[in-house]
Structure 1
Amino acid sequence: MSFVLRVIINGVAIWLATALLSGLAIVGGATTLERVGVLAAVALVFSLVNAVIKPVVKLLTFPLYVLTLGLFTLVVNALMLMLTAWVTEWTTVGLRVDGFGTALIGALVISLVSLLLGAVTGVNRRKRD
């Protein structure tokens, strides 16, 4: 259930980022229901990228995290957003990112919104036995 809630939170965060940034867009879907479906698919791909690939990248780039005092997180988040856009470009629907600068700002917006929604919903809390 936690993964499903995290996908929903990522979907809301991606939707807000696409609403705020002109270089970030959800492409596809003629009706509102279809656009929501496309957004859900993009959120699922983004969540899977963050769950599977991001830990490996963080492990490999650990020295850069230490050297930049954690600011390299923004670069990794932007790369994960660009990877999501690249994966969804295989189809006619998905996420489109204009460039790295847009991905960087979009990743910052998505991270902040996800952090706030995660705190409100309690998805980030660890269960104590």
Structure 2
Amino acid sequence: MKTLLQIILTGIIVLVLSNILGGVQVDGFFTAIVVAAILALLNIFVKPILLVLTLPVTVVTFGLFLLVINALIILMADWLVSGFNVNGFWWAVLFSILLSFLQSLIFSVAERSERR
């Protein structure tokens, strides 16, 4: 149940960010939920492989290369979901930074309210 709530909240964040950022388009709420689910699956299965393959570069750049990996995950989701469009690498970087920040903020608030 917690995972489903996180996917729904991420879908809402994706929809809000698509309305704010000019380089990111989402067709609707259902597409945003699909994007959230695809991002979750890519983060579970693809991201660990990319982290291992790019470990030396990540260490040399003090972790900044993780922004590139996150942008690549966003671009993969763009390629997989037909109603989701990101207009280039830098929009993907900005989208991934804002998505990560908002997810951590909202998930921490939701976790605090769950504890009470």
Higher relative contact order structure (alpha carbons within 8 Å, sequence separation ≥ 6): 1
Deviation at 1:64, TM superposition (A): 1.6
Matching residue of 2:91:
102
After TM superposition, the structure 1 = structure 2 runs for residues 1-129 of structure 1, keeping only pairs within 5 Å, are 1-27=1-27, 35-89=28-82, 94-122=83-111
Gaps of 5+ in 2: none
Q: CA contact under 8 A between 2:74 and 2:92: conserved in structure 1?
A: yes
Query: Partner letter of residue 52 of structure 2?
Result: L
Deviation at 1:88, TM superposition (A): 0.9
Alignment length, in residue pairs? Answer: 112
Question: Once the two structures are superposed, what CA deviation does each residue of 1:77-99 show, in whole Å capped at 9, x if it has no partner?
Answer: 1110000000113xxxx210110
Task: Please identify runs of 4+ aligned residues in structure 1 that moved more than 3 A.
Answer: none
> SS of 1:122's equivalent?
helix
Identity over aligned pairs, percent: 30
For residues 53 and 80 of structure 1, the distance between their equivalents in structure 2, rounded to whole angstroms, comes to 8
Deviation at 1:51, TM superposition (A): 1.4
Query: Partner letter of residue 58 of structure 1?
Result: L
TM-score by length of 2: 0.87
Query: Partner letter of residue 47 of structure 1?
Result: A
Q: CA contact under 8 A between 2:15 and 2:29: conserved in structure 1?
A: no
Greater per-residue helix proportion: 2
For residues 58 and 13 of structure 2, the distance between their equivalents in structure 1, rounded to whole angstroms, comes to 24
